[in-house]
Amino acid sequence: MGENREELQRRLKRWEDTVLAEYMKERPESRKEFITTSSVPIRRLYTPLDLPPGHFEREVGLPGEYPYTRGVHPNMYRGRLWTMRMFSGLGSAEDTNRRFKYLIKHGETGLSVAFDMPTLYGYDTDDDEAKGEFGTCGVAVSSVKDMEVLFDGIDISEISTSMTINAPASVIWAMYLGNAERRGIPFSRLRGTIQNDILKEYQAQKEWIYPPEPSMRLVIDTFEYGSKMVPQWNTISISGYHIREAGATAVQELAFTLRNGLEYVQWAVDRGLEVDEFAPRLSFFFNSHNDLFEEIAKFRAARRIWAREMRETFKAKSPRSWWLRFHTQTAGVSLTAQQPETNIVRVALQGLAAVLGGTQSLHTNSYDEAYQVPNEKAVRIALRTQQILAHETGVVNTVDPLGGSYFIESLTDFMEEEAYKYFDRINRFGGCLPAIKKGFFQQEIANSAYRYQTEIENKERTIVGVNDYVTDEISVPEPLKISKASFEMQLKRLQSLRRSRDKRKHKKSLEKLHDVAAGKANTMPAILDAVRAHATLGEICTVLREVFGTWKEPLLY
């Protein structure tokens, strides 16, 4: 092997000096530097010399085996396709229930709920803070009654449900559980995910309620409760998506997400939980942006880092604890308002990257999302895009088709190394919480966002239809409006719940929750009892706010 490498080195040098040099005299390259979407310089050519000896055995290996670079399952999509899961939510529970059924009819295989802003912040629809925000970017869920309507006529013992909810995750999960209980479905049958990733809220998505420490406690409460009571539920979806959308590079997305994951594991272990009891229910969520190979390398590096950390650092014994299973959403931030139909192409390529990276489930964005929550036609095209990837392109025929590519393997290694550099920096702060309080992640993300925008501004980066290939033609997608009737229906349901519930039981449940929150016990049972007593989301979060306080972020840009 050593001799071969020397021989190859000589050959490469000869090629550069002769074949390449002569060719470049006539056809010089169009740019001095070729960079990825995240501004990583890419070399002209990759060869076996870019990978150290023994690389395949140590870093790549076989799918379904440690370190899982090639995928968590041995036969990947030949055995089972990814779950086609479209993030949906608009207006009232009735409106969103209709959208779910529409998507299921058109071949969606998993549900994913988008909640409106008030719900994400733990406010009921009739709260003053909710003014103007009802149903605009998700569905309003203020009580278990809304949850009943949301899943009416949908078999939640069969289909899995992902819920993008963070600060009030345990409350919304309790409402899902409460609805299952009412329908006579045992918790052990339920499959799904709550996002429940509060760290990235402070870093990027900014939908927090309480300060970081009590928020972390609520997260670990769900790990503990879930591993005992709802064993098929993913109690967290550790998310890079929003970190990326806020402006991070692919490396930052990878590094911050995985470091957040390790933080949750450490907190759970510190609580006294057995790593192999909760780690198999940790799931991940990544962004898929425009740069095909950079994204694929990111997904592959993520799997390898997680497997290593879980096995080596946390000494997990079960291979399921080593698996990094993830959902992917195409990059909302990459969608253009200009010539919006071109977004269909962007989404297809981003979806392709996710599939080539071995995703377990996928959301493809709709082409009209630079304007609005998608209309029915746009969302159907987005779903059809996944179906074309799955059934027409042939990319599912073999496992990790790009494994062994000198370029992909080298870029995967690069991603991993860079992620570990960030781990060191975060560790020097003393972990994720001190780094959040100092604004480290926030500043890193803001810097990258500004650099990206400046590159577009200076035309160092071309965005088709935005800073080049521009047309005057205005093509506005068919608007989607949330009706006033939906708002009124939601208010009526909420008011009727407040009137008809057992006042004494309701009051007692909230007092009990207050005591539990002020102590050290797991909050999940008390939250579930409050939901059963028809306490609303706003009421429950008010109790927790009283006990935990609220949070103000460091201001920087």
Partner 1 sequence: MAKKIRVLIAKPGLDGHDRGAKVIARALRDAGMEVIYTGLRQTPRDIVEAAIQEDVDAIGLSCLSGAHMTLFPEVVRLLRQKGAQEIVVAGGGIIPEEDIPKLKKAGIRAVFGPGTSLQDVVKFFEQAAGK
Residues lying near partner 1 in the complex (CB under 8 A) are found at 117-118, 120-121, 123, 129-133, 136-137, 201, 205-207, 245-247, 333, 335-338, 370-373, 446, 449-450, 453-454, 457, 463, 465-467, 474, 476, 479, 552-553, 555, 557
DSSP character string of 355-422: HHTT-SEEE---TTTTTSSPPHHHHHHHHHHHHHHHHTS-TTSSSSTTTT-HHHHHHHHHHHHHHHHH
Q: How far is the CB of 522 from partner 1 (least distance, A)?
A: 28
Task: Give whichever of 371 and 422 is closer to partner 1, judged by the CB atom.
Answer: 371
Task: Give whichever of 123 and 278 is closer to partner 1, judged by the CB atom.
Answer: 123
Q: How far is the CB of 447 from partner 1 (least distance, A)?
A: 9
Task: Give whichever of 417 and 478 is closer to partner 1, judged by the CB atom.
Answer: 478
Question: How many angstroms separate the CA atoms of 87 and 99, rounded?
Answer: 10
SS3 162: strand
Task: Give whichever of 378 and 510 is closer to partner 1, judged by the CB atom.
Answer: 378
Task: Give whichever of 402 and 463 is closer to partner 1, judged by the CB atom.
Answer: 463
Q: How far is the CB of 186 from partner 1 (least distance, A)?
A: 36
Q: How far is the CB of 251 from partner 1 (least distance, A)?
A: 18
Residue from 535, 533, 532, 489 nearest 140 by CA: 489
Q: How far is the CB of 136 from partner 1 (least distance, A)?
A: 3
Q: How far is the CB of 351 from partner 1 (least distance, A)?
A: 21
Neighbour tally for 552: CB within 10 Å = 7
Task: Give whichever of 229 and 466 is closer to partner 1, judged by the CB atom.
Answer: 466
SS3 329: strand
Question: How many angstroms separate the CA atoms of 248 and 91, rounded?
Answer: 31
Question: How many angstroms separate the CA atoms of 465 and 339, rounded?
Answer: 6
Q: How far is the CB of 476 from partner 1 (least distance, A)?
A: 5
Task: Give whichever of 163 and 390 is closer to partner 1, judged by the CB atom.
Answer: 163
Question: How many angstroms separate the CA atoms of 171 and 116, rounded?
Answer: 15
What is the token pair recorded at 507? 């009051």
Task: Give whichever of 262 and 382 is closer to partner 1, judged by the CB atom.
Answer: 382
Question: How many angstroms separate the CA atoms of 209 and 548, rounded?
Answer: 9
Q: How far is the CB of 137 from partner 1 (least distance, A)?
A: 5
Query: The tokens 């799997």 sit on which residue?
Result: 303
Beta pairing partners, 283: 237
Strand 236-239 to 233-234 pairing: unpaired
Question: How many angstroms separate the CA atoms of 117 and 127, rounded?
Answer: 12
Question: How many angstroms separate the CA atoms of 432 and 453, rounded?
Answer: 27
Q: How far is the CB of 336 from partner 1 (least distance, A)?
A: 6
Task: Give whichever of 232 and 454 is closer to partner 1, judged by the CB atom.
Answer: 454
Helices (H), 106-196: 117-120, 144-150, 169-182
Query: The tokens 């577009």 sit on which residue?
Result: 456
- Letter for the amino acid at 35? I
Q: How far is the CB of 555 from partner 1 (least distance, A)?
A: 5
Task: Give whichever of 241 and 267 is closer to partner 1, judged by the CB atom.
Answer: 241
Contact 320, 362 (CB under 8 A): no
**Who contacts 136 (Cβ-Cβ below 8 Å, separation ≥6)?**
116, 117, 373, 482
Question: How many angstroms separate the CA atoms of 106 and 95, rounded?
Answer: 17
Task: Give whichever of 262 and 373 is closer to partner 1, judged by the CB atom.
Answer: 373
Q: How far is CA 21 from CA 26, 42, 349, in A?
A: 9, 19, 33
Task: Give whichever of 23 and 469 is closer to partner 1, judged by the CB atom.
Answer: 469
Where would I find the beta strands (DSSP E) of 199-296? 233-234, 236-239, 282-288
Q: How far is the CB of 553 from partner 1 (least distance, A)?
A: 7
∠ CA 488-491-493 to the nearest 5 degrees? 110
Task: Give whichever of 1 and 555 is closer to partner 1, judged by the CB atom.
Answer: 555
Question: How many angstroms separate the CA atoms of 296 and 387, rounded?
Answer: 20
130-166 core/surface letters (b: 16 or more CB in 10 A; e: else)? beebbbeebbbbbbbbbbbbbbeeeebeebbbbbbbb
Task: Give whichever of 132 and 153 is closer to partner 1, judged by the CB atom.
Answer: 132
